[in-house]
Structures are given as C-alpha cells and as structure tokens.
Amino acid sequence: MRPSENIEKLIKKLHYKTSAETHDKVLGNVMQALDKKQKQKPGATMPVLWRTIMKSPITKLSTAVVIIVCIALSITFMEKTVTPAYSFEQTLRAMQDLRTMYMVCKDWNGHEFEMWIELDPATGIPEYCRAYWPGIKVLNISRPDTSYQYSERNNQVQINSGKLYSIDIAPAKIFEQLMLASKEDPDSVVIFHERDRQSGKNLIVVITRGYKQSYKVYIDPETKLPVLMKGLENNLLGAVVKDIEHIEFNVDLPEDIFDFEIPEGAKIIDHDRNNRLLNNPQYGISTEGMTEQQAAETIATMYWNARIEMDAITVQTVAPLSPQTGADSSLEELVEVGTLYIQPGCGIGKLIPCRIRYKDGSLKEWKLVIKKRNIDGRPSCVIAGFYASPVEIEPAR
Amino acid sequence: MLEDRLLLWKFRHGSKDAFRAIYEKYAGDMLTLAGNLLDDKAGAEDIVQDVFIKLIESVDTFRLTGNLKSYLATCVANRSRDYIRRSIRQRNAMVKQAEKMSAEAKSMVHLAISSEQLQKLSDAMAELPYEQREAIALRIHGNLRFRQIAQLQNVSTKTAQSRYRYGLDKLRSTLNGEVKK
C-alpha cells in the first residue's frame, strides 16, 4: 500500500451486503413487528383528529351530548326523511382551537402534495406552511417574513418576501365563505349524508356551488370538522388546493419544518426584483376605458408584433421580465388571440392564449400571463410571463 | 436531516411506507457498520433487525435530537458490544463449538468482499482491539463525530481520536507489511 493511499477511503469500501432473500426476510420480520405494534395500538395509527379533540376539556364535557345527538342523527339519517341538523357555525366553533394541520391534497393539475400548517390562533389564518409535491419534486415554504419555492429537478429557488398566498389554506375562512354563500343563496348549498366505506361512519356532506368556488365537503358528524374536501370548480385566481384527501388537526409538527436552506449551486430567482419591475408604471400599458379582455388582447398583440418585428424596446416595455436578447427571427405572424381565463394555481394573473405561426409552417399556442394593476388609481396591465410550455397545434411543413 | 424527521413524523402517525423508507435508506449502512464491528455477517443481520424493531417499539417516546443515521449507528454500536459480550460468554462455555461458528460466520463475511486488498483490510480490522475498530467503524460507516464516539465509549474526545488514529496506523502498517512480503 502506498503511503499516500488513503486508508479511510479503502475502509469506506468495506461494504457488507445481504442477499435479496435475507433482505426480504429481515424486512419481513421488521414489518411484522410493526404490524404487531400497530394492532396493539389501533388508535395510534390514524386520526389524531378524533383523539386530540377528545382530549380537550370542552369536548369531554360535550361528549355525552354529542353521542346522544349522533345517535339521534343516525336514526334520522337512516330514515332519510328529515333534513340533517347541521350548520356551518358548528364547524366554525369546532375550528376555534386549531393550532396545526397536516393534509394530503391534490392540486388542480392532479398532482398530490402534502401540507403542514401552523395557524395563527387569533385569526385562524396560516402563519407558516410547508407544501411538498413528491411527484414533481417541488417544495414550497411559506413564512411571514420570506417564502421559498424550490424545484429539486431544476435546482431552482424562487424567493418571495412575505407569505405565499397560493398555499394559504385557512379552513375557518373557507367555512366562513360557505356560511355567507349559504345565507345569500340557500339553494347553492345541499346537505345530505353519505356512509364512509372505510370508517363506516355517516358523514355529513355539504355541496356548495358558489360564484368563485364549488366544493363538496365531508364533515365528521361528531367533531363537526372536515375530513375530506373535493374541489368541484374554481374561478379563484391563484388557488392551488383542489381536494383534501386526508386531514389531521392539532398534530405535533416536526421541528424545523418551516426552515429552508438554499441548496448548494441552486439558481435563485428573487421575486422582489421581479415584482418591483411588474409594478413599475414605466412598464405595461394603460387600460383606461378598456374591458379586461380588450386590455389583454391589446397588450398580447403589441407583444407578439414587437417580437415578430424584433422591436426589443416594445417587448421590454410590455413584458419587463423578458430576456434582453429576446429577438426571435423564427416567428411569422400572430394568428389568433383567445379569451382571457383563470388558471387555478397561477396567482399572478389571468392567462390569454395566443396562436403563433412560425416560419417553418408550424402553429403553436402560447399562454401569456396578464397582470392587472391599479397604480395611483390608473388601471394598467403588464405581461408577467408565459404559463407552461407552448402547445403545438400544427406541425412544421 | 429534515427529511428524516418528516419520515419519522409520518411513521409516528402510522405510515408504514415512511418506516419502510427509513429501513431502505439506512439498513445497508447499518449492516456495514455492524459487520465491521463484529466480523460476523449473521450477527450483523440480527443486530440490524433488532435495532429497527427497537425503533418501532420506541417511536412514540423517543425524540430525535441529532440525525437519524447517528442515532441508529449508536444503537448498532451498543448492541454490537452486548453481542460480543454474549459471544465471549458462550465461547468460554463451549470453546470448540464457538470457534467453529466463528469460522463459519467469517467465511460468510468473506463472500461479501470481493477484492483481495479489501479482504486483507477486513482481516486486519478484525484483529484490531475492539475500541479502535469501533472508533473507526463509527467514524467512517456511522458518520459519528468524535464527540459522539467519545460519549459512547465513555472516554474523552481526545482518547476517541487517538483510538481512531492508532487503529488506522495499525491497519496501514499491517497492509504495508503484507505487501512487502
């Protein structure tokens, strides 16, 4: 062995490996031990929701009443003749002492993600939030001071000052809105019961069809807290959560869960700079006297024509975040500008689809994000960027 | 590290997948650590199994202060010492049988190590005083700091560092000596 040879490196190579058979055997034994432990403590496996609420003194006091009410309700439901006695106020009362939440959700693009939330006890609004999308490897950390959006695949961090409102889920606020909607238009709310196949419980089901959001919410008749939520429709700018598939309240959150350390070599996008540019009245166009659609069509047309004519100054003026060298000689003409619409999950603005003919004969659809502004009482708009990749409508010749 | 805490948190909340992920992540490293401490593959497998079963049993009560790998490595080290103590007692009782078992176990270890140089290193490791071997294995395979090794061995940090250094020197000279032959 050469003196310079690093013996530590050599020791590191001293690996012990088991055969696949032994690995499976040991893992099987360990998993068996886990099964045994979980069977011994069936309550420990799931709903902290029920156990936590049961621990509260108020709940203890009202348990007897709840049980009686539940028995009465179950009888009523089985007969299915009487409208179940449920009001949103009951859920709002039950939500008064919430401190933390853990949820498994689905976004409007169908991606599953997990959320850990710490609520401000005074307002019921999330103060800290961590959301992780395992499928697309995206992590969002929302904090009152600074928020981070990290894409593991691109090793890119977006930094925002303040909270990330797109993942700001305040269940109490949702129920407040549902309650108001039901008061304004009682027909927009339907309440019935459905038996949960897993637990065998009769859950209260509330369907609300509002102007901005429509939900189907499943409520535990005992705790009056939501156990499931299905988003049916969404016209709310920036909303991310569609479904809540699993929810636990007042759980002990892991330490440091809302901390974020910028990974080594990560590309950093500072949104404060971007926001300053997007909110600078020097950029964008005045939309005085225009409808939202007209304003979006105007700015989109200006942008594409400037790109086609390689007019860099106009491109920068209407879309200040465009790269300085945004000249593109492959564009032929702007074929069509579509109708402005809301894309759930895109909180900056509405999208306008634009079809562009390329010099190679292909036709592609781009979606521009139009940010509406009102600076010093003057309405205006600016192009904040593109949404997703372009879609090829017709291939190249 | 936070990822481990989240896995533990989910495991504590009943997720079998989270436990399986912890097992898949660390079982290999722990087997290597136990294997290097004991020079006995079958014993190492038993210890790894015991450590993970212990984790299941204590998950509701234990609080992770450092990182999970260090915690598991410390558990492996403690159990390895117990295992060796038990083996010595058994060996004293049935010397011949124990020697036979040890030879069998050793041959299994050898199967896992392909290169000749690594085989020599493994043999040299097995010849080191246990405290030195433990310091080396915990530092290199368990990623423990000297402070943690010292705590485990109930000695000063300096002593733990010396044991590590002396152990490495011995390994180096053993390997060099064999090459010279």
E strands in A155-312: 156-161, 189-195, 202-209, 213-219, 226-234, 241-249, 267-270, 285-286
pLDDT one-digit tens code per residue, A355-375: 999 999 999 999 999 999 998
CB contact under 8 A, A34 and B109: no
pLDDT one-digit tens code per residue, A261-300: 888 899 888 877 788 888 899 999 999 999 999 999 999 9
Assign A73 a pLDDT band (cuts: 50, 70, 90): very low
What is the Cα–Cα distance from B37 to B84, expressed in whole angstroms? 9
Side chain identity at residue B157, one-letter code: T
Q: What is the pLDDT of residue A210?
A: 67
Residue of A nearest to B34 (CA): A16
* B140, B70: one domain: no
List the one residue out of A247, A225, A215 whose CA is nearest residue A93. Answer: A225
In 10 A of CB B70, how many CB atoms?
A: 18
> Could you tell me which residue, B169 or A323, shows the higher pLDDT?
B169
Residue of B nearest to A116 (CA): B6
pLDDT one-digit tens code per residue, A112-139: 999 999 988 777 788 899 999 988 889 9
Q: Which domain holds residue B55?
A: 1-112
Residue ending a domain, choose from B94, B112, B130: B112
Q: What domain count does chain B have?
A: 2
Q: What is the pLDDT of residue A131?
A: 92
- Say whether pTM exceeds 0.80: no
On whether the A50-249 domain is CATH 1.10.20, my answer is no
Residue of A nearest to B66 (CA): A255
Interface list for chain A against chain B, based on CB atoms closer than 8 Å: 1, 3, 7-8, 10-18, 22-23, 26-27, 29-31, 33-34, 37-38, 44-46, 48, 102, 248, 251, 253-257, 259
* B89, B127: one domain: no
Q: What is the mean pLDDT of chain A?
A: 79
Q: Cβ of B83 under 8 Å from any chain A Cβ?
A: no
CB contact under 8 A, B9 and A253: yes
Residue of A nearest to B38 (CA): A16
Q: Cβ of B116 under 8 Å from any chain A Cβ?
A: no
* B92, B126: one domain: no
Domain segments of chain A as ranges: 50-249, 279-394
Whose tokens are 């040299």? That residue is B124
CB contact under 8 A, B9 and A48: no
The CATH number assigned to the domain holding B119 equals 1.10.10.10
> Could you tell me which residue, B13 or B78, shows the higher pLDDT?
B78
Residue ending a domain, choose from B96, B112, B128: B112
Nearest CA to CA, how far is A36 from chain B (Å)?
10
Q: Which of B57, B113, B140 sits opposite A12 (nearest CB)?
A: B140
* B102, B120: one domain: no
The CATH number assigned to the domain holding B76 equals 1.10.1740.10
* B151, B68: one domain: no
* B89, B124: one domain: no
| Residue range B13-33: mean pLDDT, rounded | 89
In this prediction, the answer to ipTM > 0.90 reads no
What is the Cα–Cα distance from A244 to A108, expressed in whole angstroms? 11
* B93, B129: one domain: no
* A vs B: CB pairs below 8 A: 106
* B22, B108: one domain: yes
Q: Which of B2, B115, B176 sits opposite A256 (nearest CB)?
A: B2
> Could you tell me which residue, A212 or B137, shows the higher pLDDT?
B137
Residue ending a domain, choose from B60, B77, B112: B112
E strands in chain A: 100-107, 112-119, 126-133, 138-142, 146-151, 156-161, 189-195, 202-209, 213-219, 226-234, 241-249, 267-270, 285-286, 331-337, 350-358, 363-375, 378-386, 391-394
